[in-house]
Structure 1
Amino acid sequence: MRHTVAESPTANTGAMDAWLQSRANVRERRGLTRRAGASGCEDAGTMLDLASNDYLGLSRDSRLTAAAVAAVEQFGSGARASRVVTGTLPAHEFLEEKLCTLTGAASALVFSSGYLANLGILGSLGGPGTLLILDAHVHASLLDAARLSRSPVVTVSHSDLEDVERALKSRSQPRAVVVVESLYSVLGDSANLMELAALCAMYDAWLLVDEAHGIGVAGSGRGAVHAAGLAGAPHVVVTATLSKALGAQGGAVLGSAALRDHLVNTARPFIFDTALAPASAAAAARAAQIIAAEPELATRLQDNAATLADLCGIGRSQGAVQSIPMATADDAVAAAARLRAAGVLVGCFRPPSVPDGVSRLRLTARADLTHGQMVHAARLIRAVLQEQPARNLEHGGMSRNGNNI
C-alpha cells in the first residue's frame, strides 16, 4: 500500500508541541527556567565576574591567544576528522605531552570536552563485569557515563570511606572502579585521595578521580592527585577538563600507556567524534606550560578565595569556588539578580543542577583579580544577603559553617 505524506509537514505535531509547552510551564512555575542567551559581553569591562570557571584568568591571557592563532594559521580552524582517521595533529600530541608534564601522569588522551572524557573512560572500563562505585556528589557527566556503561552501579554516601570499602568488599564482579572528584565545587570539600587509593589497591580496583576543579588549583596547580603523591600510580586514573583553570576547551584522560591504548580502541566518544580544534589544543598546551612554570598563580587564587570567604563570613572552600547556601532556589535567583544589577556576576546553583535544599550562590575567586576587587565584591554580597529573608541567614548564609552541609 502506498502511504501519502500529509499536506502540512507540521500537521501532526500538536501533541508534541503541547507536551513541550507543558514542561516549560512546569519549569517556569518552579523557578527552574534557564536561558542560554549571550550574557556579560555587553558588560565587558564594567562587570566583576565571579561566575565563570576561568580560575586562573588564562582564557584572555595573550600567551594563550597567540598560541591559538598560530595553531589556526598552521593547522586550520578544525581538525577535520576523528583522531583515529586523520584528525590527530601535532597540536594534540603536544598538548598530551604537556598535560603529562604538568600532572606527572604516564600518558594522556585528549577528548573534545571533559564531559566526553568521562563518558569515554567509564564506557571503556565499564560493562557487566565491572562494578562502578560512585560518590553521591560526582558530576552529572559521571552519572550519565555510569548509566551508559552497562555496568552495575552502587552510589555511596559522600566522602564515606567505610561505605566505599563495604561496596568493594561485597562485590561479586571481577573488576571495580571507585569514582570521585578531587574537589567538589558545590560543597567545597575534597576527597581523601590517599585513603581511597589505598582501599582500591587493597581490593584490586581502579580509582577514577575527576580533577575538573583540581588541576590549576590544588597542589601548586598540578592537581590534588599529584599533591597526594599518586601521580603515575597504575590503578589511579584522572579525568580533566581544559575549560576551567586551563582557559581553553576540551578534556583528557590521564593514566597508564596501556589504558590510553585501550581508550583509543574502545572509547566511543573518542573514536566517533571529530578531534578537538587545534586552536583549543594549542591554547590548553600553553596553559599547562604556564601553570607548571608559575605556581604563584595557584597561590594567588587560594589567597583570593580565602579573602572572599573571610570577608563574606562563610566557611572556606578548598577550591576556587566559594558558595553561600540559600534557603530556596527563588532566593538564590533573586540574590544573583540583585548582585548583577550592582555590577557583580555570581553563579547560582539550584535544582536540577543540585538536589533540593542545596541551592546556593557560587562565587569564583580568580587568580587575576585584585585584593581590592575581592573586598568590593564581598561588601556588595554582604549587603545583598542582609536584604534577603531571615530564613537564609538561618540556612547558612553569612555563617562561618554555612559552606558545609
Structure 2
Amino acid sequence: MGLVANGRAAGRRRRTDPARPVSVTALVVRFSLAGVVVMVLLGSVVAVLARQAGTDQAVDAARRVAWVTGRGIAEPRLTDAVVAGDPQALAALDADLRRYVLQGSLVRVKIWRPDGRILYSDEPRLVGQRFTLEEEEVEALQERTTDSEISDLSAPENVYERPFGKLLEVYVGLTAADGEPLLFEAYFRYDAVVDAAEAQWRRYAPATLAGLLVLQLVQIPFAWSLARRLQRQQRDRQRLLQRAVDASHTERRRIAADLHDGVVQDLTGLTYALDAARLAPPDPAGQLEVVGQAATQLRSSVADLRTLLVEIYPPDLAEEGLPAALTDLAAGLERTGLAVEVDVEAGADLPLATSSVLYRSGQEVLRNVVAHSDAGRVVLHLDADEASARLVVDDDGRGFDEADLDQRFADGHIGLRSLGDLVDDAGGTLTIRSAPGRGTRVEIVVPVG
C-alpha cells in the first residue's frame, strides 16, 4: 500500500514538476482551444442578442403598421353608419380594409366596441359576437394606446385564426365619428417576426464571427511567441539551477581540499611535534623552541582559516564597499607569498549587485592565479564611471596560449566556465589576454546597476 501511495505521489510530482520542459505546441493548442471555446460562446451570445433585437424590431414594425392602418385608414371610415351597423357602410369599410390593409403578413382585422362586441371583422362570422376584453385591451381602448402580444389561439374569439398558426396581435385605440372609443385589432403572421429576427442575425453574424476568427488568428502568433519565451526562460532557469548546484559542489570540494591539505595537515604535524616534546626527556630549551614553533604554526593556521572564512562568507559589501572587500581578499593572498598591488580607489558607491559580481569575479581570478599561474606578483585595479565598472587582474605568471582558451571552455573548465557565466548573466564582458611566459590579464566589465 505504501509503495502504491509513493508511486502516486511521484506521479503527481512528475505532472507538476516545474523542471519538465514546456511544449510550445501543447501551450498553443490549449490557447487556441480556449479561444475557440470563447469564440463559440461569444458567437452564441451575439446570436441570441441579434435574434432578440430582430424580434423586437419586427414587433415594433408591426405596431407601427397597426397604428398607421388603424389611425390612418380605419379611423376616418368609422362613420355613424358603420357604428350603427349599416350593411352598406360595413361593406364599404370591408372593401377599403381588404384593399389597403389586409396584405402581406397582416391576415386578420377586428374592430371592437367597449362592451366586447365585434363591430367589424374581415371574418363575417365574428361580426356581432361578444367576448370579454382583457385588461390590456381595455386599457388600449380607453387610453388610445398601442399594445401587442402573442395570440392565444385557444381563446373563443380566435377560433377562426387557428388555421394561420402562431400570430402576433396588435391593439390600437381608435375613436369613432360620434366620439365612441373603439379598439382596432390587427393580426400578423409570427413567421414574419421570425424571418426578421433571422435576417437580423444573418446581417450581423458573418461580420461578428469573422472578427472573432481574425482575432483568434492574430493571437496565435503572439501565443506562440510567448510560449517560446516561456520555454527559453524555463531552460535558462534549469541552466542556472544546474550551474548553482555544480558551483556549490565544486566549492565544497575545494574547501575540503584546502582544509585537508593545509590547516588539517599543519595541525596534525603540530600535534605530533607536541606529543614528541611531551614524551621526550625534560629539556627546557628544546621544549621552549617547540612551543614557539607551535605558536607560529597556530598563528599561520588561524590566518589561513580567516582567509577561508572570507572566501566562504565575503565581507558585507553593502556596508564596507567593494574596495574594502577586495583589499581584504588581497591581504589573504599576501600571506601565501604572492605580492599583490591593489589599486581600487574607485567603486565605493557601486550598487550592491555590481559590487557582488566584481567581487566574485576577482575572487575566482585570484584563485586561478594562485592555483595555476606560479605568479610572484599580481596587480588588482578597479575603476568605474556612470555606465560601467571595470576590474582588471594582471599577473606575471607563466601564462598560456590564447588558442587553448576556447578548448578550456569546451572541456568544461569549472573556474573559467563559472566566471564566464557569472559575468554573462550580469550583462557584462569577460576578456582574457595571455601568452606563454608573459603572464595573464583578465578584464571584467559590468554595467552599473
TM-score normalised to structure 1 length: 0.25
Identify which of structures 1 and 2 has the higher relative contact order when contacts are C-alpha pairs closer than 8 Å and 6+ apart: 1
Q: Which structure's residues are more often helix, by fraction? A: 2
> Which structure: larger Rg?
2
